[in-house]
Chains A and B, each alone.
Chain A
Amino acid sequence: QVQLVQSGAEVKKPGASVKVSCKASGYTFTTYDINWVRQATGQGLEWMGWMNPNSGYIGYAQKFQGRLTITRNTSISTAYMELSSLRSDDTAVYYCARERRSSGSGWFDPWGQGTQVTVS
């Protein structure tokens, strides 16, 4: 079945960087975009950015420009999200999600299980 499996929880100090992986299986990795979304405790979903694994084209939410780097390794069907200059308010669960589209409208399915990143 189609699934995304993320790396484990991380604890980082302020100012450090964190890199979260997202391994895809059950489909051809380069066919669909991968998006990254985060959620602080008790808060809503916040979109961070996306990547086309085939072309490597990326787009970042303005809020994360300069701190966020999304990459991939197509040989192992894995996408990565690296966030630098971490602050306490970056503490959140980080999700990857596959995006499918039709006539410009997209949807996220499936989602990874989430990775807790704690900055303290």
Chain B
Amino acid sequence: SSELTQDPAVSVALGQTVRITCQGDSLRSYYASWYQQKPGQAPILVIYGKNNRPSGIPDRFSGSTSGNTASLTITGAQAEDEADYYCKSRDSSAVVFGGGTKLTVL
């Protein structure tokens, strides 16, 4: 089955830009979606499709795809962006999640 690979941890200085990546063969066929999860809370959708944000998600969040790599970029990271981030895609009839990236805002 297809896998999605994420870096386990990434850090960014307050106000700077950070990119979180997700690699997998399925990304050549399907867009990734991205989820933010804070401790003790359910995940929430932050990016879907080519580069779409649900209502209420700040425009500092953006997404892109190149080849087999999807990226979530936070431009001007804020303290409240510190969280775990997961990518998700589809592999034929199954859904697959990346292992998650823990983002620390310094």
Interface residues in chain A, defined as those with a beta carbon under 8 Å from any beta carbon in chain B: 35, 37, 44-47, 50, 59, 61-62, 95, 100, 102, 104-114
Contacts and interface: CB of A to CB of B under 8 A. Distances in A.
Contact of A47 (B33, B43, B44, B97): B97
Given A45-B43, A113-B42, A106 B97 contact: no
22 contacts: A44-B86, A44-B97, A45-B35, A45-B43, A47-B95, A47-B97, A50-B95, A62-B94, A95-B42, A95-B43, A100-B48, A105-B30, A106-B30, A106-B33, A106-B90, A106-B95, A107-B45, A107-B48, A108-B43, A108-B88, A109-B44, A110-B45
Interface of A is mostly: strand
Contacts, number: 65
Contacts of B96: 47
